[in-house]
A and B are shown apart, each in its own frame.
Chain A
Amino acid sequence: MARREISEINAGSMADIAFLLLIFFLVTTTMDTDGGLIRRLPPPPDSEATPPDKINQRNIFEILVNQNDQLLVEGEYIQVTELRAKAKEFIKSNPNYPSVADESNASYPNMPEFRIEEVPVLGNVLVSKQIISLQNDNGTSYEMYIKVQNELVAAYNEIRNEFAMNKFGKSYSELVQQSESSESIAEKAEAVKKIFPQRISEAEPKKIGGN
């Protein structure tokens, strides 16, 4: 049998083929990572459920947004940029927190009361009964709505960070980041979260007037 020499395959067009594939993938795929404000909706209204206990007015931080994107916070007309500071003040309940002994928070009658709660690592501490209530109009723009939501989340995050910094020498976001590596850090993060729980309640939508 005569041995035939096999000629080498011409690989010159390989680059062209690869380029073709590359361009195909560049066109059909996207790279954007989606992110945003993560929220939990309340479960669907249950007609048989008993109406919740009445909440003391001083524990509620009321935010109203009207159709002209104006804010009414606790009966006061303010700008969105002022909201964060106001919300922070309210969430803390008492500017001297945590060195407060008074559960009823008598020295600040317009701020929420405290209750004693057991928290990991720190034991029994005073936890504010704060609730933020947000109500918007059907005509409010989505942009404004997100701004308000964002400011509220920012207020919670800042307070948690400051508190964690004081107590543990690390900000809350650092604690959360490192919580996977160590159990004790995860517990600390949990404690901060329990002391300042995110309670943003959105009122059931009401339809008022036309449009």
Chain B
Amino acid sequence: MSKFRKKGKKSQPAVNTASLPDIVFMLLFFFMVTTKMRETTLKVINVTPKATEIEKLEKKSLVSYIYIGKPIKALQGAFGTAPRIQLNDAFKTKEDIFQFVEMERNKRVEVERNLVTWSLKVDQKTKMGIVTEVKQELRKANALKINYSSKKTDKIVN
């Protein structure tokens, strides 16, 4: 009479995975709620500068983006290395900005058209010349509320 049964070939019962779908669904919903769809594929190198006094843009639906920077490596053969403006998914010139502003406005409900913030995502190595030109175009199109997109940092170094 032994109290200790010999561990024979009896295999351990499988781990119950019935709740696995629930866990995964929970994760899924979390990500669906907290993230937003990627809208554009970046065609320009875009490292925004750092700043300390950042304000968050409250309503995502009221923000339109203008990207400025050098074309990415893969496109430099075709487009060169001079900084370019990207609107939505394509390279555009500054003359297209007026039309872009109109199009973006028309996407929104009438009451919100004047509340759109134009976020300039400009690469930090870009020269101000092209940025000033874009700003002048925005002024012409009466798109005055702009945001210089930048990353949060604690201290500005020289």
Q: Does B associate with A?
A: yes
Per the bound structure, the CA–CA distance linking A157 and B28 in Å amounts to 40
B55: which A residues are within 8 A, CB to CB?
35-38
Is A26 interfacial (CB 8 A cutoff)? yes
Q: Of A11, A44, A145, A154, which one neighbours B52 at CB under 8 angstroms?
A: A154
CA distance A141 to B57 in the complex (A): 24
Contact in complex: A22, B147 (CB < 8 Å): no
> Separation in Å of the B39 CB from the closest CB of chain A?
9
Contact among B56, B117, B128, B150 for A139, CB-based, below 8 A: B128
> B88 within 8 Å of A by Cβ?
no
The segment out of A13-21, A88-96, A109-117, A189-197 that lies at the interface is A13-21
* A187 interface residue (CB < 8 Å to B): no
**Contact A80-B156, Cβ < 8 Å, known A25-B32, A29-B35, A42-B139:** yes
Q: How far is the CA of A145 from the CA of B131 in the complex (A)?
A: 10
A177 within 8 Å of B (CB atoms) = no
Cross-chain contact B52 with A150 (CB below 8 angstroms)? yes
Looking at the complex, which of B3-11, B15-23, B72-80, B100-108 is the stretch in contact with chain A? B15-23
A146 touches B135 (CB 8 A): no
Chain B contacts for A139, CB-based, 8 A: 127-129
Tell me if B28 and A18 are in contact (CB < 8 A). Answer: yes
* Minimum CB distance partner of B127 in chain A: A139
Contact yes or no, B144 A43, CB < 8 A: yes
Residue B158, interface by CB 8 Å: yes
In contact, B126 and A142 (Cβ under 8 angstroms)? yes
Complex-state Cα separation, A157 to B117, whole angstroms? 22
**In the complex, A33 Cα to B56 Cα: how many Å?**
8
Task: Check A137 for interface membership: any CB of B closer than 8 A.
Answer: yes
Q: Does A147 contact B (CB under 8 A)?
A: yes
- Nearest residue in B to A27 (C-beta to C-beta)? B38
Q: Which residue of A lies closest to B24 (CB)?
A: A18
B51 contacts the other chain (CB 8 A) = yes
B119 CB to nearest A CB, Å: 6
Inter-subunit contact B127/A142 (CB<8 Å):
yes
Q: B49 CB to closest chain A CB, in angstroms?
A: 4
A64 at the interface (CB under 8 A from B): no
Q: Write out the residue numbers on chain A whose beta carbons fall within 8 Å of the beta carbon of B127.
A: 138-142
Query: Measured between C-beta atoms, what is the minimum distance from A121 to chain B in Å?
Result: 24
B63 to chain A, nearest CB (A): 7
Complexed CA–CA distance, A118 and B26 (Å): 55
Residues of B within 8 A of A28 (CB): 37-38
Q: Tell whether A123 is near chain B: CB-to-CB under 8 Å.
A: no
B150–A146 contact, CB under 8 A? Answer: yes
Question: B24 touching A147 by the CB < 8 A rule?
Answer: no
Knowing that A154-B53, A205-B136 are A-B contacts, what are 19 other residue pairs whose CB atoms are under 8 Å apart, sorted by A's residue number? A11-B21, A25-B28, A29-B35, A30-B37, A33-B57, A34-B60, A34-B65, A34-B149, A36-B51, A36-B54, A36-B55, A36-B147, A36-B149, A37-B150, A38-B147, A42-B139, A80-B158, A139-B128, A150-B53
> B residues bordering A, Cβ < 8 Å?
17-18, 20-21, 24-25, 27-28, 31-32, 34-38, 48-57, 60, 63, 65, 117, 119, 122-129, 131-132, 135-136, 138-140, 142-150, 152, 156, 158
4 smallest A-B Cβ distances: which pairs? A29-B35, A138-B129, A18-B24, A143-B124
